[in-house]
Amino acid sequence: MMKLYWAPRTRSFTAVWLMEEVGEPYERVPVDLSTRAHKTPEYLAINPMGKVPALADGEVFIAETAAICAYVAERHHDKNLAPPIGDPLRAKYLQWLFFSPGCIEPAIIQIYTKLDIPPRTAAWGDADQVFGVLDAALAKGPWILGDMFSAADVMIGSGLNNAIRIFKMVKARPNFDRYIDACVARPAFQRAMAIEAG
User: What are the boundaries of each domain within the chain?
Assistant: 3-80, 89-188
Residue 27 φ/ψ, nearest 5 degrees: -105, 130
Separation of alpha carbons 186 and 16, rounded Å:
13
pTM higher than the cut 0.85: yes
CA distance 155 to 71: 13
R_g of the chain computed on alpha carbons? 17
Give the SS3 label for residue 5.
strand
Mean pLDDT of 68-81: 97
CATH topology of domain 89-188: Glutathione S-transferase Yfyf (Class Pi); Chain A, domain 2 (1.20.1050)
Indicate if the pLDDT at residue 125 is higher than 80. Answer: no
* Alpha carbon distance 165, 52 (integer Å): 22
CATH class name, domain 3-80: alpha beta
Percentage of the residues of the chain whose pLDDT score is greater than 90: 83
pLDDT tens for 10-59 read 999 999 999 999 999 999 999 999 999 899 999 999 999 999 999 999 99
pLDDT band at 159 (very low <50, low <70, confident <90, very high): very high
Q: Give the residue-averaged pLDDT of 162-183.
A: 95
Given a cut of 80, whether residue 118 has pLDDT beyond it is no
Whole-number pLDDT of residue 68 = 98
| Predicted confidence (pLDDT) at residue 107 exceeds the cutoff of 80 | yes
36 touches 90 (CB < 8 A): no
What is d(CA 193, CA 134) in angstroms, rounded to the nearest whole number? 24
What is the DSSP code (8-state) at residue 60?
E
